[in-house]
Amino acid sequence: MASQIKSSEAAEAKKAEKKSSPKRGIKNPFVYGGTIVILVITIIAFVFIPSIGGGIASGSAPEFGRWDGKPITYSSDSYFASQVAQINDYLRQQGLSEENFQLYAYQVWNMAFQSAVIRTALIDMVEKSGYRVTEKGLDEAMLTNTTFFVDDVFSVEKYNKTPLATRMTIRNTTRDDIMVQRYYEDLYTISPSTAEMKFVTEMAKPQRVISYIDIPLSGFPEADAIAWGTSNADLFRTIGISRITITSSESDAKKILAQVRDNKLSFEDAAKSHSQDGYADLGGDAGSVFYYLFAEGFTDTGAAAKIAGLAKGEVSDVYEIGEKAWAFFKINSEIAPSDFSSAETIAEIRAYIEEKERGTLESWAIAKANLLVTSTNLADFQKSAAKAGYEVKIAGPFMINLGNPTFYAYNQQIPLFQAAAPLGTTELSSAESDEAFMTELFSLEKGKVSKPLVVEDKIVVFGVTDDADASDDDTALVQFAYPYFHQQTIETQTRQAILASDKFKDSFSDTFFKYFTTGTSSDTSSNTTTDTATGTPTEE
């Protein structure tokens, strides 16, 4: 639903606007719950992420999920905690400030949690395979742990002075590290076959250059837009409303409505003192809005029509407008017919069609393209396109490279297939991710004309002008790179399989917001709160 909830700055600016002018607003005006979630994430990031070290309330180890019945918990010495710290440190090294962190807090913790789940699953799988770490092997690994080094050499004295509990934690972690290492050692012995290597290398050889024209969907004529709007006129009617949004409960919203109806509180005063949206400071005045925008988002599909049927000055019942959000409305001006002479209405029709009726735009552009395809011969098509005023462009070379797969090496993403330097325009560079385009490209006979294809925000018609094969030297990188790509693909698929497994029970979101939305531990009986400056628990 297009939003009518605006910032305080927008609300102030709105005071100077004409209330009769319909406003499109920002998307999802009534789904106030989403605004709360973003605010919560912002608070968490600012308060907690910059100060990881304090951990969660003393003595607690909150559970964020399970793998095959084994809990994934957060404690100061857990792998989960170390991942949160490492991710946070990495972001700091990238020059991100606390302000930059605000939108990433939830993602940082979730990434760390998923790493902990995957580690637990890998250890579990290795254990079930029958592999065991011997005490001798563990002793040898401990000798390489830098925690006990002095002057780059293992120090027996430092080891003996380290508390036993700390030594045991390090030893257990080292055992787990060896188990994970063994898994990846086995994983990376899986190599592609000679036949597979040859097949992939051959994919990089065919290269095709095309001649094409494109018809942007943005060229949809204004007259056609108005005609479409006229046939759907009810959507673009306008109504002037005020609103009061309540997020505490439906019963609270009904109590406030009762006070307004009993004249114990004016609508404007009720909005200023109780409403929880961007119109509160304006006494709830949301101005004039298009009907289809107003209608979106109601849980009750008939709610908008009921409200629109009210007379000027009437106040509606309470309606649910999103998760944990309820609202009631006052009619400031009754619903008015669509004004197709208004620039705002025409712009709104265009925006509606682009967002919700894209097929209308595509059908229009495809019909125009079909008028140009009077022959399957490319030369004839080029002449007819040029005569109609279209620029005939060159693009390529393209290779069989759907999705442009990459692998990670030397701290950068490297494409598996290295295309030749592009000729002509590069505006179709993203077409390599379009399966329909690539299929047509490598199925079409040279010199023939393709069918019209939707490529992003345009319709494209093309023909192949040049067809060649890359040399073995040109494809040498594929032979070198594919084993690395193969390994990383297997690793990615393993991660995805673990996170999609029935053995994985994910309760991350519930636990995350339970402990950190308010900065206070959920255990109120302990009188323990979280210090918002350090994340460290303190006794009241």
Indicate where the chain has its CATH 3.10.50.40 domain(s).
2-30+238-336
3-class state of residue 528 by DSSP: strand
Is a pLDDT exceeding 80 seen at residue 447? yes
Is a pLDDT exceeding 60 seen at residue 263? yes
Give per-residue burial for 389-401: e unless 16+ CB within 10 Å, then b: ebeebebbbbbbb
Provide the pLDDT for residue 497: 95
Residue-wise DSSP of 424-438: E--TTGGGGG-HHHH
Is a pLDDT exceeding 50 seen at residue 534? no
Confidence of residue 124 (pLDDT cuts 50, 70, 90): very high
The DSSP element (H or E) to which 71 belongs, if any, is strand 70-73
Provide the pLDDT for residue 389: 94
pLDDT in tens, 502-532: 999 999 988 988 876 544 333 333 333 333 2
Section 1-26 average pLDDT? 40
Contact 535, 51 (CB under 8 A): yes
Confidence of residue 439 (pLDDT cuts 50, 70, 90): very high
Section 291-308 average pLDDT? 91
Section 95-107 average pLDDT? 62
What integer best gives the mean pLDDT of the chain?
Answer: 83
Burial of 331 (0-12, 13-18, 19+ CB in 10 A): buried
State the Cα–Cα distance between residues 211 and 209, nearest whole angstrom: 7
- 23-27, 295-299, 428-432: least confident range: 23-27
pLDDT in tens, 178-199: 999 999 888 888 889 999 999 9
The CATH number of 2-30+238-336, from 3.10.50.40, 3.40.50.300, 3.40.50.1100, 3.40.1380.20, is 3.10.50.40
Confidence of residue 279 (pLDDT cuts 50, 70, 90): very high
Provide the pLDDT for residue 501: 96
User: What is the dotted CATH code of the domain comprising 206-219+350-469?
Assistant: 3.10.50
